[in-house]
Amino acid sequence: MGKMVQLTDTNYIFNENNGRDGIFLLSAKGDVIYANENANTFFAFKIGSSFLSVIPKKDREKIYSFYEKLSRGESISYVSSSIKNVEVSIYPITKEKNVVMFVGVIKDITRIKEMELCTKKILKKEEIFRENVSHYFFNPLVIAKGYLQLLLNEDVGKKERKKLEAIKTAVERIESVVKNTVTRGKIEE
């Protein structure tokens, strides 16, 4: 269970999360009033200092751009441009429509970013696979089907026509399987 934090200037009690997230509290003016150990692994929080003085300079512009939203009592979330794979979210706490404090959460999103990268690589491989299937299978099948049609348009005997029709049907079935593999990712006619 987390430890309880009594805030002196309000009636709020905060139950600290024992998870991996960094948690910090800011006064309505934006001064740091609390930061757990995990928050301090990301930023060097100092009680009483301004939140803007704690975060890296590159991130300050983002906070400035969100200031209007925060002052209206809306929450914000941004990915830090200074610290790799860190997402910072700030939630205003209001009382009678006035912001009395902010609760901030800092998440290490390294695993999420790694999964996104892995997903992008897999999707790229799938795209290349489909392009290769189209190029190496679908195109030759269409060419073969075209030549078969030219032969069928010629004056051929009944026996030869039957064989050519059977070949055309087989090519069309293979073409259908290749098309379904490329467009739907399923091996079926």
pLDDT for 103: 94
Cβ 173 vs Cβ 189: under 8 Å: yes
Residue 169 structural domain: 113-184
pLDDT for 145: 92
pTM above 0.75, yes or no: no
Q: How many domains does the chain fold into?
A: 2
If we measure between CA atoms, which residue out of 45, 2, 41, 38 comes closest to residue 20? 38
Which token pair is 19? 């998870």
Q: Is the pLDDT of residue 147 over 90?
A: yes
**Extended beta strands in the chain, E state:** 4-6, 13-15, 22-27, 32-35, 76-79, 86-95, 98-108
Please indicate, yes or no, if residue 189 is contained in any of the structural domains.
no
149-188 pLDDT per residue, tens: 999 999 989 999 999 999 999 999 998 888 888 888 788 8
Which token pair is 160? 């030869």
Q: 129 and 88 share a domain?
A: no
Please indicate, yes or no, if residue 157 is contained in any of the structural domains.
yes
* Residue finishing a domain among 58, 83, 108: 108
| CATH number of the domain within which 30 lies | 3.30.450.20
